[in-house]
Amino acid sequence: MKSLHANLVVAKNDLDSASAWLVLLDVVVNSSTTLYLTPNPASVSFDSQTYSPFALALAPVSSDSRGGLPDVEVTVQNVTQAISGYVEANDMRGQRVRLRVVHSDNLADPTRTAFDESYEITEIFVTEQAVSFRLGHLRLLEQRFPARRFLRDNCQWVYKDSSCGYAGALATCDKILEGTNGCRAHGNQARFGGFPGMPSVAGRFT
């Protein structure tokens, strides 16, 4: 069971609040397209992404006594045929979906989530009115362990995301420490996502 941040515990126990719990979905369509959706009536900005309002229904998510999580079903409206268009143009089975529950008073800190789980799409059901995705858990034997790669010269962060932390005017970064468009040139070397202290490849064998 996930331990809630103290602010979220206060929000959970507040019986007279104008704030709300928000569901956020990151749905990978293909290698270049991800849908960021929320059933909230207004857009939600969280973790450097804007989640667009979309009519969707999420089946109850629960865990058993051993912490196991069953499959989840998400149903998205398809009146405009936008979602079925993505399904028809892409084989979305096996693609990843990230489900998070956050609180509207704690959107500035991406670590403050009440629920944060990743799934893969196992089944898709399409009608004229809706598209339903059955979400199962990622196959562990197909995952990279450890999840992060330890690279000496290259930054692992997505440019300008919460881990990178750069919020300046420069539009691009070479994701290296040095150089005219590197992390140091951005004045952001303290957040460099590589490990320059690691020996070079040549250094390991000499």
Let me know if residue 78 belongs to a domain.
yes
Q: Both 99 and 117 in a single domain? A: yes
Q: Both 127 and 190 in a single domain? A: no
The domain tally of the chain equals 2
Tokens at 57, concatenated: 């229904």
| Residue pair 194/177 in contact by the 8 Å Cβ criterion | yes
Task: Select from 124, 142, 160 the last residue of a domain.
Answer: 142
Q: Both 92 and 127 in a single domain? A: yes
Q: Both 158 and 183 in a single domain? A: yes
Q: Both 119 and 158 in a single domain? A: no
Between CA 134 and CA 128 the distance in angstroms is: 18
Q: Both 25 and 74 in a single domain? A: yes
In this structure, what CATH number is given to the domain that contains residue 112?
2.30.110
Task: Select from 114, 142, 170 the last residue of a domain.
Answer: 142
What is the domain extent for residue 173? 146-206
Let me know if residue 12 belongs to a domain.
yes
Q: Both 87 and 122 in a single domain? A: yes
Let me know if residue 23 belongs to a domain.
yes
Q: Both 120 and 167 in a single domain? A: no
Q: Both 30 and 103 in a single domain? A: yes
SS3 content of the chain, % helix, strand, coil (to 5): 15, 30, 55
Between CA 177 and CA 179 the distance in angstroms is: 7
User: In a structure prediction context, what are the per-residue pLDDT tens digits for the chain, which is 206 residues long?
Assistant: 455 445 545 444 554 556 788 999 999 999 899 999 999 999 999 999 999 999 999 887 655 555 556 788 999 999 899 999 999 999 899 899 999 999 888 898 888 888 888 899 999 999 989 999 999 876 544 545 555 667 788 898 889 988 899 999 999 999 999 999 999 999 999 999 888 887 765 544 33
Q: C-alpha distances in angstroms, 144 versus 70, 98, 141, 149, 183?
A: 22, 17, 8, 9, 27
pLDDT score of 206: 36
Interior/surface letters 3-23, b for 16+ CB within 10 angstroms, e for the rest: ebbeebeebeeeeeeeeeebb
Q: Both 176 and 205 in a single domain? A: yes
Let me know if residue 1 belongs to a domain.
no
Q: Both 162 and 136 in a single domain? A: no
Q: Both 14 and 109 in a single domain? A: yes
> Which DSSP state fits 103?
E
Let me know if residue 87 belongs to a domain.
yes
Task: Select from 142, 175, 191 the last residue of a domain.
Answer: 142
Let me know if residue 164 belongs to a domain.
yes
pTM: 0.59
pLDDT score of 68: 56
| Residue pair 119/27 in contact by the 8 Å Cβ criterion | no
